[in-house]
Amino acid sequence: MKVAFVMIDPMIGKRLHRAGGAIYALSSYLKDRNPYISGIDTKIFNFNSLYTGPLNLYISAIVDYKPDVIGFSTYCWNVEIVKNLIRSIRKLLPDATVILGGPEVSYNSEELMSDHKEIDLIIRGEGEITFNEVISHLYTNKELTGVSGITYRTKNGNVVQNADRPLHPVLDDFPSPFLNGTINLAESDGEVAYETVRGCKFRCSYCLHTKGMSHVREYSLERVEEELRLILLSPCVKIIWFLDPTFNAEEERALKVLEIIERYNPNMPLAFEIRADLLTDRLIEQFGRLNVAEVGIGLQSYSESANKHIHRKNNIEIIEEKLGKLKKAIAHSCEQFDIDLIYGLPGDLFENYKKSVDYILYLGGRIYYQPLRIFKGTQLYNDSEDYGIVFNGTAPYNVLSNSTYDMEQMVSSYCLNVGIDYINRGGIYNDIISAIKEAKQCAYSDILQLIGRYFWDKQAYDIFRVSNWTPDDRSDASVFDDFCQFLGSYMLKENNMDLSRKVREKIDGYLDMEKDISKSMYSQYGYFQLTI
C-alpha cells in the first residue's frame, strides 16, 4: 500500500521545505506504530500555497507516485486549493482513498463530505492515532464502523460520523519525527517548525489554539532536550520556529527550554510567539543570551472593552516596561519585534484600532495587523450572530462588519492598513511621516490613513504589500510617483518648502530603492497575502 501525505504550506519565497508540523507527525506515528508497516510505503509532499502557476505540477507529482491513500492537511490558507486538487485527483486516481484532516475539516465534516463527493474520509481533531487506525483498517479491508474520530462515506454513499476520539493524554507516546528519522534535517531547507506543547491555557474566543482541549499537554523536558539537541547541533538548520501559542505562558518551563538551547547552541536563530505582560526579568535576561531573530507579541487591541468581548486582558501598564527591557536585551539579534493587532473585533470601533496602531508605533514595534477571522470550532463562530458579525464565506473568513464596526469603519481600517504597509516596507520614508506629524501636530495614524486613503481611491491598496512569488516587478511605480507629487504639493500648501523638496528627492530615488526594499522585506512579510 502506498500512502501520500500532502501539505500545502504557506511558505515564503524560496523556503521550499519547512521541517515539522502535521504531516511529519502523522507519518512518524504510522511508521513507528503500524503493524503492517512493512507492506506500506509513505511519501511526504510539502508544497507551497503561494505558488500561482498551474496546479498540474502538484497533481502530476502526486499521481506519479500512484498512492492508494492520500492524506491532505487542510488549513484556512490551503482549503480552497485542496478542494481544487482533489477534484482532479479523483478523476486521475479513481480508486485512491482521499482523506482530509486538519482544523479546516474538523468541525463541519458531514457538510463538507456532502458538498465534496471526492472526499472519502475526514479525520477530525488530533490525527496520529486515528489515521494509523484507519490505515490498518484499509490495509486489512475491515469496516470503519468502530474507528472513532472519523466521518466517512460508506459503500452505498452515505456519510457517517463516528464518535469523537478522546485526546491522548501523554504526548510523549507520539514518536518523535526528529528522533526516528521521519524528518531528515539534511534534506530540509533549514527551517524547523517545533512544538513543545499542544493547546493553550488562554481562552481568546477567536482562536483555535486550544484545539478544544481543556488543558495544555506538554512534551516532557527530557524529550524536548533530546529533540532540540539534534536540531541545534545540525549544521543544516538555519532557524527554529517555536509553534507554542504563548511560549512564555509558564515561566519555569520556558526558562528550562531556553537553557537547553543555550547549552547546545546559543547562536541558533529562534522565533517565538509570546505575551508581553507575562515577561519576567529572568526570562528577558535568558532571551538576551540567545539569538532571538523574531518575536511575535499578541496585543490584538488597545481597547479594554474589545478585549473583554474576546476574553482577553492586556495589562497595558506593564507592557511598555517589559517590552522596553526585552528590546534592549535582544537588540543584538532582533531589530524590531512584531505586535499583533486584530481589527473588526466585536465591541470595537475604528477609533480604537487607530489608538492601537499609535500605541504600537509609540512602543517601537512593527505592526502585524489582521482582520478578525471567524474559524469554525471557535467560540466566536458560535457567538457570531449575537455580535452581528458578517464574515466572508470562503477561507480565511475575514470579518466584513459587526454591530459596532460597520463597513465604513472597515474601509477606514483598510486605508490605515495601506499606511501601515508603507512604514512596514522598511522605514525608508519614515522621516517624511515624522516631519508631517510634527508639522501638523497630529497622530501617526492620521497620516497613515491619509496615505492609505490616497492609494485606496486609486485602487492600489496592495502597493506596499510584498508580493510573494515575484517580488521585483512592481507595475504600480507610477502610482507611487503620483503620490509623491501629491505629498509634495500638499506640503507646499502647508508652506513647508523643506518637506516638499525632500519628497521630490524621494521620487528621484524611488525606482532604485523599490527593488532593494522588495528584496529585504521578501522573507519577512510573505504571508500578508491573505490579509486585506
Ligand X SMILES: C[S@@+](CC[C@H](N)C(=O)[O-])C[C@H]1O[C@@H](n2cnc3c(N)ncnc32)[C@H](O)[C@@H]1O
- Choose between 337 and 480: whose C-beta lies nearer to ligand X: 337
Supply the minimum distance, in Å, between the C-beta of residue 342 and ligand B12: 8
Residue 245 touches ligand X, criterion: CB under 6 A? yes
Supply the minimum distance, in Å, between the C-beta of residue 335 and ligand B12: 19
- Choose between 204 and 451: whose C-beta lies nearer to ligand B12: 204
Residue 128 touches ligand B12, criterion: CB under 6 A? yes
How many Å separate Cα 240 from the centre of its chain? Answer: 15
- Choose between 246 and 356: whose C-beta lies nearer to ligand X: 246
- Choose between 192 and 207: whose C-beta lies nearer to ligand X: 207
Contact 495, 458 (CB under 8 A): no
C-alpha cell at 384: 457570531
CB-CB neighbours of 389 under 10 Å = 21
Question: 152: left (phi > 0), else alpha (psi -120 to 50), else beta?
Answer: beta
Taking the alpha carbons of 468, 473, 479, 483 in that order, is the dihedral positive or negative?
positive
187 Cβ contact list (under 8 Å, min separation 6): 17
**Identity at 328, one-letter amino acid code:** K
Residue 75 touches ligand B12, criterion: CB under 6 A? yes
d(CA 510, CA 503): 10
Residue 246 touches ligand X, criterion: CB under 6 A? yes
Supply the minimum distance, in Å, between the C-beta of residue 174 and ligand B12: 8
| Polymer length in residues for the chain | 532
Among 71, 298, 346, 526, binds ligand X (CB under 6 A): 298
DSSP 8-state code for residue 169: S
Among 26, 70, 207, 228, binds ligand X (CB under 6 A): 207
d(CA 18, CA 9): 8
**Identity at 23, one-letter amino acid code:** I
Single out the segment in contact with ligand B12 by CB under 6 A; choices: 59-67, 95-103, 281-289, 400-408: 95-103
Residue 277 touches ligand B12, criterion: CB under 6 A? no
Contact 211, 198 (CB under 8 A): yes
Nearest to 162 by CA among 109, 114, 104: 109
- Choose between 79 and 261: whose C-beta lies nearer to ligand B12: 79
Contact 418, 456 (CB under 8 A): yes
77 binds, among ligand B12, ligand X, none (CB under 5 to 8 A by kind): ligand B12
Among 3, 42, 47, 71, binds ligand B12 (CB under 6 A): 71
Give long-range contacts, CB 8 A cutoff, 24+ apart: 158-162.
159/110, 159/113, 159/114, 161/109, 161/110
Single out the segment in contact with ligand B12 by CB under 6 A; choices: 58-66, 81-89, 122-130, 250-258: 122-130
d(CA 256, CA 282): 11
* Angle of CA points 486, 491, 493, to nearest 5°: 95
4 binds, among ligand B12, ligand X, none (CB under 5 to 8 A by kind): none
Supply the minimum distance, in Å, between the C-beta of residue 349 and ligand X: 17
Single out the segment in contact with ligand B12 by CB under 6 A; choices: 17-25, 36-44, 252-260, 419-427: 17-25
C-alpha cell at 393: 464565506
Supply the minimum distance, in Å, between the C-beta of residue 522 and ligand X: 22
Supply the minimum distance, in Å, between the C-beta of residue 14 and ligand X: 24
415 binds, among ligand X, ligand B12, none (CB under 5 to 8 A by kind): none
Supply the minimum distance, in Å, between the C-beta of residue 102 and ligand B12: 4
Taking the alpha carbons of 381, 383, 385, 389 in that order, is the dihedral positive or negative?
negative
Single out the segment in contact with ligand B12 by CB under 6 A; choices: 19-27, 84-92, 315-323, 348-356: 19-27
Residue 273 touches ligand X, criterion: CB under 6 A? yes
Among 42, 86, 96, 103, binds ligand B12 (CB under 6 A): 103
Single out the segment in contact with ligand X by CB under 6 A; choices: 88-96, 267-275, 386-394, 482-490: 267-275
C-alpha cell at 232: 541545534
Gyration radius of the chain's alpha carbons: 25
Contact 199, 211 (CB under 8 A): yes
- Choose between 339 and 433: whose C-beta lies nearer to ligand B12: 339
Alpha helices by DSSP H, 70-127: 79-92, 109-115
Contact 402, 389 (CB under 8 A): yes
d(CA 241, CA 258): 13
Residues 326-385 that bind ligand X (CB under 6 A): 340, 342, 370, 372-373, 375
- Choose between 245 and 471: whose C-beta lies nearer to ligand X: 245
The site that binds ligand B12 (CB under 6 A) totals a number of residues, namely 38
Binding mask 366-405 for ligand B12 (x = CB under 6 A): ----x--x-x--------------------x---------
CA atoms within 13 A on the CB side of 229: 8
Residue 76 touches ligand B12, criterion: CB under 6 A? yes
C-alpha cell at 362: 509609540
Q: Catalog residues that contact ligand B12 under the rule CB under 6 A.
A: 9-10, 18, 21-22, 25-26, 49, 71-73, 75-77, 99, 101-104, 123, 126-128, 131, 193, 195, 207-209, 243, 245, 370, 373, 375, 396, 527, 529-530
Q: Catalog residues that contact ligand X under the rule CB under 6 A.
A: 206-207, 209, 245-246, 273-275, 298, 300, 340, 342, 370, 372-373, 375
